[in-house]
Chains A and B, each alone.
Chain A
Amino acid sequence: AQSVAQPEDQVNVAEGNPLTVKCTYSVSGNPYLFWYVQYPNRGLQFLLKYITGDNLVKGSYGFEAEFNKSQTSFHLKKPSALVSDSALYFCAVRDQSGTALIFGKGTTLSVSS
């Protein structure tokens, strides 16, 4: 069965420092991977996706993610964190039926000034 794991409930980083939010996945076949962000009382905003091709994917708001097939990981990164990046981040994989998204439990990112 497809699954996604986000091993950290919370990540704390100082403004201006690089950030990494971790995600590992388990799929049969080639994965379709996504990152979303959720601000309080809002829905999910799409950040970026990996379908095929370059292992480094660039997305919205300066975020990028690195796909690593051997480690089955898809970590979200940003070179310089902003206080406004503080939010709940979800990693997701499209399920075997090719329709629904299977989400990790989410990682709260807290950026301090």
Chain B
Amino acid sequence: EAGVTQSPTHLIKTRGQQATLRCSPISGHTSVYWYQQALGLGLQFLLWYDEGEERNRGNFPPRFSGRQFPNYSSELNVNALELEDSALYLCASSLFGQHSNQPQHFGDGTRLSIL
């Protein structure tokens, strides 16, 4: 079975620009999660989408947003990019969402670099 796929692999932007990151979940998974892995800050939860709706958000400003499409793929948008947004952005999917005992399966991430 195909795993979680993310694109692009790398993305280079300048301050103030907007970035769009994409994620395709494992077939049959309806929940998609986004995490940020920044140097020195570890892995932090960004957003959870399920059945096309944003269900939960981590402690990030509103310029981090996204959506989930009818085929359960997802986009993460980051507006007004700042230097500290440089990080590896990981997408994960799972079979069920809230209170599920199913593990989240991760893609290989998008490396976002802000110049």
Contact = CB atoms under 8 A, between A and B. Distances in A.
Interface of A: 32, 34, 36, 41-46, 49, 51, 90, 94-95, 97-106
A97 B101 contact: no
B106 A98 contact: no
B103 interface: yes
B48 A43 contact: no
Interface of B: 4, 6, 31, 33, 35, 42-43, 45, 48, 55-56, 58, 90, 92, 97-101, 103-109
Nearest to A106: B42
Nearest to A44: B106
A42 B107 CA distance: 8
Given A101-B35, A102-B45, 19 more contacts: A34-B103, A34-B104, A43-B106, A43-B107, A43-B109, A44-B43, A44-B92, A45-B106, A46-B103, A46-B105, A46-B106, A90-B43, A97-B56, A97-B98, A99-B33, A99-B98, A100-B33, A100-B58, A106-B43
A90 B106 CA distance: 13
Nearest to B108: A43
Nearest to B6: A43
Nearest to B100: A98
